[in-house]
Amino acid sequence: MRITDSQRLDVEEVLEPLEQWAHKCHQASLAIVNARIFHARVARGFARGVIGQHSWVVVGHNVYRPRAIIDPTMWSYADRPPEVDYHVCATQWSGRELGYSPHGSGHIFYGPMPKSSGDLPIELEGDHSSEAQRFLHTLGPLDARGWMQLFNSPVEAGWPAREIITAAYRQQNLRAFIPVDIVGHITDENPGGLYLPTATAERERAHGN
């Protein structure tokens, strides 16, 4: 894909003046997402050149294989003049090559698998796909500690993470175990309105506010 000059102007209008967003990476990224210029969501993790966690915009809904990355605040961490960074991702690995690593990156089978510690098992409620059922069967019954291990495992590949985490997030006795960034990255849920466009932002845009 390409980011058009018109889309760049829309981004810069949303952020104007850009200086106000120095070191406010998540707020600035969410402002772009709420403007609905792109089909996009906020990603959070680590970025080359930033000490600690960082947030940016991914165009498309797969934060691990983005079509493009927009970083509205990298300039404030790199000690350079204010300027939005636009990166078009030519391959599925472009994000990593550019130095962006969202929370949950990686393949689950490249590390130790989650398992029960022997406490009371917690079942995932509802009906699930055969793929999800097979995966959960391979793990065996999971107790609270086992579910926490699963939810802190890589979600990019190796298991039906989107389906399982969506169901778990809607289940009161499992929701608190799931890192909020993981929910925001791979589901249609929008914890705190911090990852996807909010209904309020949609109404304001429709009315020209």
Q: What is the pLDDT of residues 109-122, one digit of tens each?
A: 998 999 999 999 99
Higher pLDDT, 92 or 48: 48
pLDDT of residue 209: 45
Residue type, 194: L
Mean pLDDT of 146-163: 97
Lay out the sheet containing 85-88: strands in order across: 85-88, 68-71, 54-59, 40-47, 100-102
> Across all residues in the chain, what is the average pLDDT?
93
Tell whether the model's pLDDT for residue 200 goes beyond 60. Answer: no
Higher pLDDT, 61 or 25: 25
Mean pLDDT of 28-35: 98
Mean pLDDT of 23-46: 97
Cβ neighbours, 10 Å, residue 93: 11
Tell whether the model's pLDDT for residue 2 goes beyond 90. Answer: no
Tell whether the model's pLDDT for residue 177 goes beyond 50. Answer: yes
Tell whether the model's pLDDT for residue 204 goes beyond 50. Answer: no
Least confident of 89-93, 156-160, 168-172, 191-195: 89-93
- Cα four-point dihedral sign 127, 180, 82, 91: negative
Mean pLDDT of 30-45: 97
Tell whether the model's pLDDT for residue 207 goes beyond 50. Answer: no
Per-residue pLDDT band at 147 (split at 50, 70, 90): very high
Mean pLDDT of 183-201: 90
Cα dihedral 7/11/38/5 (nearest 10) = 10
Q: And the tokens for 180?
A: 């909020």
- Cα four-point dihedral sign 188, 36, 86, 59: positive
Q: What share of the chain is helix, strand, coil (3-state, %, to 5)?
A: 40, 15, 45
Residue type, 58: V
pLDDT of residue 61: 85
Mean pLDDT of 11-27: 98
